[in-house]
Amino acid sequence: MTDITFPYWGPLVTKAALDVQTMSTLSEKMHTAKDYFHHDITSLENEFNFNKEEIDNVNLLLQPYFESYRSVYEKSWALDKLGSFTCTNAWVNYQQQREWRPPHFHSNCDASFVVYMSVPKQLEHTNKNIAQEYTPGSIVFEYNKHAQYKDKLVNLDSCTYLPEDGDIVIFPSTLRHYSVPFTTEATRISISGNINIEELT
Mean pLDDT calculated for residue range 101-107: 86
Q: Residue 1 domain-assigned? A: no
Q: Residue 3 domain-assigned? A: no
What pLDDT, on the 0 to 100 scale, is given for residue 23?
Answer: 96
What pLDDT, on the 0 to 100 scale, is given for residue 199?
Answer: 81
Q: Nearest-CA neighbor of 14 among 117, 152, 158, 114? A: 114
Tally of residues, the chain: 201
Confidence band, pLDDT 50/70/90 cuts, at residue 109: very high
Q: Does residue 124 have a pLDDT over 80?
A: no
What pLDDT, on the 0 to 100 scale, is given for residue 128?
Answer: 46
What pLDDT, on the 0 to 100 scale, is given for residue 131?
Answer: 44
Q: Each residue of 21-55: b (16+ CB within 10 Å) or e?
A: ebbebbeebbeebeeebeeeebebeebbbbeeebb
Q: Residue 113 domain-assigned? A: yes
Confidence band, pLDDT 50/70/90 cuts, at residue 190: very high
pTM of the model: 0.86
What pLDDT, on the 0 to 100 scale, is given for residue 58?
Answer: 97
Mean pLDDT calculated for residue range 27-51: 77
Q: How many domains does the chain have?
A: 1
Q: Nearest-CA neighbor of 88 among 105, 72, 107? A: 107
Q: Residue 138 domain-assigned? A: yes
| More confidently predicted of 62 and 139 | 62
Measured CA to CA, the distance from residue 188 to residue 161 in angstroms comes to 14
Q: Residue 36 domain-assigned? A: yes
User: CATH number for the domain including 157?
Assistant: 2.60.120.620
Q: Residue 6 domain-assigned? A: no
Q: Nearest-CA neighbor of 197 among 111, 113, 115, 114? A: 111
Q: Residue 155 domain-assigned? A: yes
Domain of residue 79, residue span: 14-197
